[in-house]
Amino acid sequence: MIATVVHELDNLVERGEITGYTYEPEPAYLTTEAPTLTYSMYDSTQSGLGNLRAFAADMTSLGAHLATHRTTGSVAVHTGATVRIHRSSQVTVRATFLSVARLSDGVRLVSRHYLASSGSNPRAASWRIPDVRISGVRGIDGAIDAFAHTAPFDAGAVVVLSLGRRPPLPGMTSHAVHLLPVWRNYLQVS
């Protein structure tokens, strides 16, 4: 499976059966028991790096322990009848909190300042559908239930988000996660 997983996932993206996937060196946040959220942003622009610094400062002010890793995002780009896979270099910040209450504060802060076209004073380089994944809790206000399906790849894993429990490829492992509500419509694929 490892040799063909990216090819198979690219085909699913091109056919519109999944919205995309990420490659992550270590998606340990999916199995944590501590209240955790991850937030990904592009790392190739000054505004993206400014967003990274602001997010890190905001999460630190809530008492979160931070770790970062590089992530590669893969999504479909439609140009007329042509579909191609766009890969982006991203940095992901994992914020681990001491309590669910602090995690909830973090989720509210993301919704206010790191969600483009929503909230108050969104940060430059915020995404319309921010890649925020919440784990280590059973449920949380302001989030929807979803699944992160993983398969090993290189020294890490590919991760596909979906609203359904069934993984897109046989042999993938599924983990319950929570996402911001803006993901609901985005993940409802053909």
Where are the chain's structural domains? Answer: 5-187
pTM of the model: 0.90
Alpha carbon distance, N-terminus to C-terminus of the chain: 24
For residue 129, the model assigns a pLDDT of: 77
Confidence of residue 1 (pLDDT cuts 50, 70, 90): very low
For residue 49, the model assigns a pLDDT of: 72
Percent of the chain whose pLDDT exceeds 90: 66
For residue 124, the model assigns a pLDDT of: 66
CA-angle at 156, arms to 12 and 111, nearest 5°: 70
Element (H, E) at 71: strand 65-79
What is the Cα Rg of the chain in Å?
16
For residue 23, the model assigns a pLDDT of: 95
Long-range contacts of 43-47 (CB under 8 A, 24+ apart): 43/70, 43/89, 43/90, 43/91, 44/88, 44/89, 45/125, 47/124, 47/125
